[in-house]
């Protein structure tokens, strides 16, 4: 396959990432984007469009009250399902209508991707787009526990993800290495367990005000925040604050034993964990004090979180006997349900028979399931819930994109190349789990090796765009553009936009970025 054809001056065929349900080039000349092209519509959407156009082109479009403006944005529930939009561009006008405010937001980001330059200046190619998401839940996850990432970094990641039509930000707020969220009823958690991080790097935590600011910024970008309190494993930070809630042997016990073998002495308790091993901390499962702590924490988190979901982890609890894990996850999901929220848990929790009805499972096994992980995932569907698919060997953004990459891990059959990250179908991962059983797709970014926004960008981009397409676009086979060959050409066209947005993407060699 060659490059896309250049049949309108220097403007190439309109292309989008994630690609749209329906995209047809029009027959008129392009629409000229000039400062006197006035924009009318709902103020938020007009502002989003004008800001994005200014950032991309340097042009200041006029805001107009009149509906006879050249560029009109409108909400019309008749347009279609939630988040859908229809965009028509011809030489004279740009008409965007959407089912709701989110659809308008996505239509605006489509418009921004279509901006191009020809010999006359900035233009929008004539086009008809009729678009709607395949999945309702399109998530990115950020691990702020292994390395803390402050509110400004999180806001920048929200902007990046929302522009690719993601609508969920899952925050992994707690782990062995640190506790990252203020819990008013249990202040010891941040007082004693937030200062540490992997490798002795600085820790930190979100105050309530920080968290609220993140939630507000996410909402302004049509994203829902899903907070995760990871229990009963991944809980050494809890041990630093409430040792009585934690089972022996603790990570402190392991660290002290290692030190003893080196001939060193460590204190009896309260030793922060700065390594990256997993699976060796657990809460005490048969102790009411554990559930009193858990209930206090989840009540405070629920109160701060307007979104419908609370994630209670449940992964890699190898320090917890299986029967105890089941018992614990049943109680934890019921606490969440009693708070009026929908629980989410990693797929291991599917082994528990009595989870709260409707609990959502998050599958992190491979694209071709191993070790019965698909059985655990299917159990959520039997319990009246749906699944979020995060197959680690295709959507884990913390996997190295190639063997020599300085950041990232490789445990998930890594490295994960861009073609591998692209070439999968969520409905072909778990037998018996098709579109109706799938709530959505989520791309996690664990941060054992990731210290700052530049590191996040370098690992996430461009593979996050492949995840966006899995979450938003029609199934592979249902659309001619849903091929690696098409994606590799379309993603290359985002490079100038990403550069203007200050995104330090990695120009992976499988794409011709010039
Ligand atoms: C597995 S998959 C984890 C995390 C690690 C990640 C690193 C899952 C639910 N847990 O604890 O950070 O691998 O890739």
Q: What are the tens digits of pLDDT across the range 178-226?
A: 999 999 999 999 999 999 999 999 999 999 999 999 999 999 999 999 9
pLDDT mean over 448-476: 98
Answer whether residue 6 shows pLDDT above 50: no
- β-sheet with 121-124: strand ranges across: 31-32, 121-124, 116-118
Q: pLDDT at position 472, please? A: 98
Give the pair of three-digit tokens for residue 167.
């609508």
Instruction: Identify the band that residue 74 occupies on the pLDDT scale cut at 50, 70 and 90.
Output: very high
- The yes-or-no verdict on residue 3 having pLDDT over 80 is no
> Which domains are delineated in the chain?
1-132+476-505 (3.30.379.10), 137-473 (3.20.20.80)
Helices (H), 427-494: 453-460, 463-472, 484-492
Contact 145 CB / ligand 1 (< 6 Å): no
Q: What are the Cα distances from residue 275, in Å, to 146, 449, 508?
A: 9, 11, 29
Interval 388-421: pLDDT, tens:
999 999 999 999 999 999 999 999 999 999 999 9
pLDDT tens digits for range 128-156: 999 999 999 999 999 999 999 999 999 99
Q: Tell me, what's the pLDDT at 12?
A: 67
CA of 181 to the centre of ligand 1 (A): 20
Cβ 230 under 6 angstroms from ligand 1: no
What was the pLDDT predicted at 459? 98
Reported pTM: 0.96
Percent of the chain with pLDDT over 70: 97
pLDDT category at 167 given cuts 50, 70, 90 is very high
Instruction: Give me the helices (H) in 163-268, please.
Output: 188-193, 208-220, 236-241, 251-261
Q: How confident is the model at residue 4 (pLDDT cuts 50, 70, 90)?
A: very low
Pocket perturbation via mutation, ligand 1, pick of 177, 312, 315 by most ligand atoms within 8 A of CB: 315
Which residues lie across from 246 on neighbouring strands? 283
pLDDT band at 5 (very low <50, low <70, confident <90, very high): very low
pLDDT tens, residue by residue, 92-117:
999 999 999 999 999 999 999 999 99
Cβ–ligand 1 distance for 396 under 6 Å, the answer: yes
């Amino acid at each position: 396959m060659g490059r896309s054809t250049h049949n309108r001056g220097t403007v190439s065929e309109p292309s989008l990432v994630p690609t749209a349900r329906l995209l047809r080039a029009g027959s008129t000349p392009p629409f000229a984007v000039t400062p006197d092209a006035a924009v009318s519509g709902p103020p938020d959407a007009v502002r989003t469009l004008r800001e994005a156009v200014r950032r991309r082109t340097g042009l200041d479009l006029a805001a107009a009250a009149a509906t006879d403006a050249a560029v009109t944005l409108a909400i019309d529930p008749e347009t279609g399902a939630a988040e859908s939009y229809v965009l028509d561009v011809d030489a004279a006008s740009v008409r965007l209508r959407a089912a709701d405010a989110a659809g308008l937001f996505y239509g605006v980001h489509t418009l921004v991707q279509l901006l191009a330059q020809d010999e006359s200046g900035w233009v929008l190619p004539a086009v008809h787009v009729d678009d709607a998401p395949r999945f309702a839940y399109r998530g990115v996850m950020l691990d702020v526990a292994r390395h803390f990432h402050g509110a400004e970094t999180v806001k920048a990641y929200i902007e990046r993800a929302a522009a690719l039509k993601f609508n969920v930000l899952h925050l992994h707020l707690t782990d062995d290495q640190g506790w990252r969220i203020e819990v008013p009823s249990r202040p010891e958690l941040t007082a004693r367990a937030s200062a540490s991080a992997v490798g002795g790097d600085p820790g930190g935590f979100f105050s309530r005000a920080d968290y609220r600011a993140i939630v507000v910024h996410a909402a302004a970008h049509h994203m829902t925040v899903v907070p995760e309190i990871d229990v009963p494993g991944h809980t050494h930070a809890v041990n630093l604050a409430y040792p009585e809630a934690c089972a022996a042997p603790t990570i402190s016990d392991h660290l002290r034993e290692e030190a003893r073998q080196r001939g060193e002495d460590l204190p009896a308790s309260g030793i922060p964990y700065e390594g990256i091993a997993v699976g060796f901390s657990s809460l005490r499962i048969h102790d009411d004090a554990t559930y009193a702590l858990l209930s206090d924490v989840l009540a405070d988190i629920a109160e701060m979180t307007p979104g419908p979901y609370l994630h209670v982890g449940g992964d890699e609890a190898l320090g917890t006997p299986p029967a105890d894990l089941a018992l614990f996850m049943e109680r934890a999901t019921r606490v969440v349900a009693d708070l009026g929220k929908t629980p989410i848990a990693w797929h291991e929790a599917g082994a528990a028979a009595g989870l709260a009805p409707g609990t959502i499972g998050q599958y992190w096994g491979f694209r071709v399931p191993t070790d019965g992980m698909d059985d655990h995932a299917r159990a959520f569907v039997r319990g009246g819930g749906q699944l979020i698919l995060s197959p680690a060997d295709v959507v884990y953004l913390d996997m190295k994109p190639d063997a020599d990459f300085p950041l990232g891990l490789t445990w998930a059959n890594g490295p994960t190349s861009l073609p591998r990250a692209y070439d999968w179908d969520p409905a072909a991962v778990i037998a018996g789990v098709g579109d109706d059983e799938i709530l959505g797709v989520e791309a996690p970014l664990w941060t054992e090796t990731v210290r700052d926004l530049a590191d996040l960008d370098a690992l996430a981009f461009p593979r996050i765009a492949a995840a966006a397409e899995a979450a938003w676009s029609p199934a592979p086979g249902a659309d001619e553009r849903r091929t690696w060959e098409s994606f590799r050409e379309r993603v290359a066209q985002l490079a100038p936009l990403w550069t203007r947005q200050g995104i330090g993407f990695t120009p992976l060699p499988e794409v011709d970025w010039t």
